[in-house]
Amino acid sequence: MFNALVISKDSSGYHCDLSSLEEAQLPPGDVLVKVEYSTLNYKDALAITGKGPVVREFPMVPGVDLAGCVESSQHPDFKAGDRVLLNGWGVGEKHWGGLAQKARLDGHWLIPLPADFSTREAMAIGTAGYTAMLSIMALERQGITPDKGLILVTGANGGVGSFAIALLAKAGYKVAASTGRPQEAEYLRTLGAVEIIDRASLAESGRPLQKERWAGAIDTVGSHTLANVCAGIAYGGAVAACGLAQGMDFPATVAPFILRGVTLVGIDSVMRPRADRIEAWQRLSRELERSSIEAISHEIGLGEAIQTAHNLIEGRVRGRIVVDVNR
């Protein structure tokens, strides 16, 4: 028997409960993992609370991230005792995920845990830090180097935003952080931001072409915010779009792309090829300060995850939430 969060939908409605399950109930897969840590991402919070159509099949164990130790394997790349991690691949949406003490998975979804990271550190980073690194890699491929100018990060208090600021600052970029929580300005400066921007200045409809303020941007928000970000990018700049907290719409014009040669790059972390995942995680292990991991994250037990998911949806959570699934 093992403990897991289980989402159900039946005649009584949509609900998530902490449950005790048998190993035989796990879905098919060729690797059985004893999970040590998971995380609570915005997508997980949507799944747990039912605030978004994340879950595709019921019952479902949420959790798009996990890290742990292989208990048994029929996959050629893994053996019992290997330390592994997983991000995405529809886990927690279509296949039982990481907010449980055990997970049976397709071995192709797993990558080896970098030797420099503990399973807890890897989940303090999780999909958020991994997505932040993918976004930085995308800006680099567009030629956005530190000498080009200021980089904007929206949704700065969230997990992706927090890690993006820390990683960019460590690499020598000057970073502007957009937030709706001015009381967190000192936290953002501690991570490396040199300028704090009120998100309200970006959240409403704006002119299609605005003053050239940023060489590049990492946007976690979408909608009017992304449109205004693109409108304020300098000639030849680039925007990595990796989130939709404000909405999936994009009420913009082609003006920034045609008149200023701006590039908009979409960042998908869910189905990313294995080689990109390994590159991103190896870079995280080399470039991310351990002090940043601790500053950005805090830990909860599995039994606290349901209430914390509601807090996250309501915007009352800063940074990353690590879930110790064994307490």
Query: Does the fold of domain 126-266 match that of domain 2-113+293-324?
Result: no
- Give tens-digit pLDDT for 83-100: 999 999 999 999 999 999
pLDDT for res 207: 97
pLDDT for res 46: 95
Q: Does CATH number 3.90.180.10 belong to domain 2-113+293-324?
A: yes
293 three-class SS = helix
Measure the CA angle with vertex 293, ends 96 and 55; round to 5°.
20
pLDDT for res 318: 82
Alpha helix (H) ranges present in the chain?
Answer: 42-49, 119-141, 159-170, 185-191, 223-231, 255-259, 274-287, 290-296, 305-313
CA distance 142 to 146: 12
Domain 126-266, what fold?
Answer: Rossmann fold (3.40.50)
pLDDT for res 319: 82
Peptide bond into 53 cis (omega under 30): no
CA distance 10 to 304: 24
Q: Which two tokens stand for residue 146?
A: 């530190």
- Give tens-digit pLDDT for 40-74: 998 999 999 999 899 989 999 999 999 999 999 99
Q: Is the pTM of this model over 0.85?
A: yes
pLDDT for res 315: 83
Which residues of the chain fall short of a pLDDT of 70? none
Domain ranges in the chain are 2-113+293-324, 126-266
- Extended beta strands in 163-266, E state: 175-179, 193-198, 214-219, 233-241, 263-266
